[in-house]
Amino acid sequence: MSTRSASSSDALVAATSARRPLPLGTVLIAALALAACSLVFVAKGYQLFQATMVLAYAVALVGLNILTGYSGQISLGHGAFFAIGAYATGILMDRAGLAYWLAVPAAGLVSLAAGYLFGRPALRLEGLYLALATFALGVAMPQLLKYRHLEAWTGGVGGIVLTKPEAPWGLPLDADQWFYLYALAVAALLFWMARNLIDSGSGLALRAIRDHAMAAEAMGVDNAHCKSMAFAISAGYTGVGGALSAIAVQFVAPDSFTMFLSISLLVGVVVGGVGTLWGALFGALFIMFIPGLAEQVSKAAPWAVYGTVLIVFMFAMPGGVMGLLHRLGRPGRPGLHQPRQRPRA
């Protein structure tokens, strides 16, 4: 009798598990991936360029979120690393003749090294002092790129003109379609790597430093090393975003990387949601489209419209878009407000 009851119970559990729907997050990610891949056959020309730029900004925002959202360090100068990645790509492709698929990861490594070299001494500073140091870097970068002794490499004020790569292997895709797919693959890979980093012991150490640096150090966390590596990885991601942007635009110039870019990246992190990876996509959409929409609303005062939209956004969604989505999804999520129901034997 007990054996029959146990087998019936096991069968009921198996049936319940089989009927259990997929997690909402998995369904949304699958739908997003399908939509992103389908876009290459639906959108054309400028629309694909915009989508590619959204991916470039999203990669950069993931990097800045690793620094700001997960390790609690504020940077007002990440536009400088975006510029380093863009110029490294331009120099490697135009001056050295390197293929784009090698130039993009190489630009990420150059930005990573620059981030480590800048971050190691700068991270002796905390809070507003670190923000000021990075602000100074963001302000100085356009002027450094115009420095006359570097013109042979950077092109000076005239910048560097690039050519968007054609599709390989005889694929029936134009340059815009192929590069969008390439940028999508790079972004997907970097999102996956960032998720693994955040879920690892290193990610736990970063969050411990963010929440209570003294307690983390007392538990054996090397705060200086973890912060330096977070700064370097963050700069590397932002550099890859700059590299993708440079190839998509097919041009790099110093005035493309003003202080407004650094501020826009920080705004994107806040709008998407600080300390969230998927918020980078929403932040990138905000960076890409809201300034243009503001100009359409008022050509006389577009930045007044932009500022108003941003203020309304912050009041309506203080935790960013992802914060709002988490609040909306929480009431029906098992384990938070509703206990998970166990099958009865």
Q: Write out pLDDT tens, residues 44-67.
A: 889 999 999 999 999 999 999 999
Report the distance separating Cα 287 and Cα 266, nearest Å.
Answer: 10
CB environment 51-72: b (16+ within 10 A), e (fewer): bbbbbbbbbbbbbbbbbbbbbb
Q: CB count, 10 Å around CB of 154? A: 23
Helices H / strands E in the chain, number of each: 15, 2
Q: Please give the radius of gyration of the chain, using alpha carbons only, rounded to the nearest integer.
A: 23
Give 329's contacts (C-beta < 8 A, 6+ positions apart).
24
pLDDT at 202: 87
Report the distance separating Cα 284 and Cα 262, nearest Å.
Answer: 13
Report the distance separating Cα 219 and Cα 226, nearest Å.
Answer: 14
Domain limits of the chain? Answer: 45-258
Q: Write out pLDDT tens, residues 158-181.
A: 999 999 999 898 888 899 999 999
Six token digits for residue 20: 């259990």
- Contact of 187 with 32, CB cutoff 8 Å: no
pLDDT at 341: 45
* Residue 186 Cα distances to 18, 36, 110, 137, angstroms: 35, 13, 17, 27
Candidates 54, 80, 52; CA nearest to 257 is: 80
Report the distance separating Cα 95 and Cα 214, nearest Å.
Answer: 48
Report the distance separating Cα 48 and Cα 68, nearest Å.
Answer: 30
SS3 69: coil
pLDDT at 24: 56
- Contact of 245 with 84, CB cutoff 8 Å: no
Identify the segments of the chain with pLDDT beneath 50.
Answer: 1-6, 12-18, 332-345
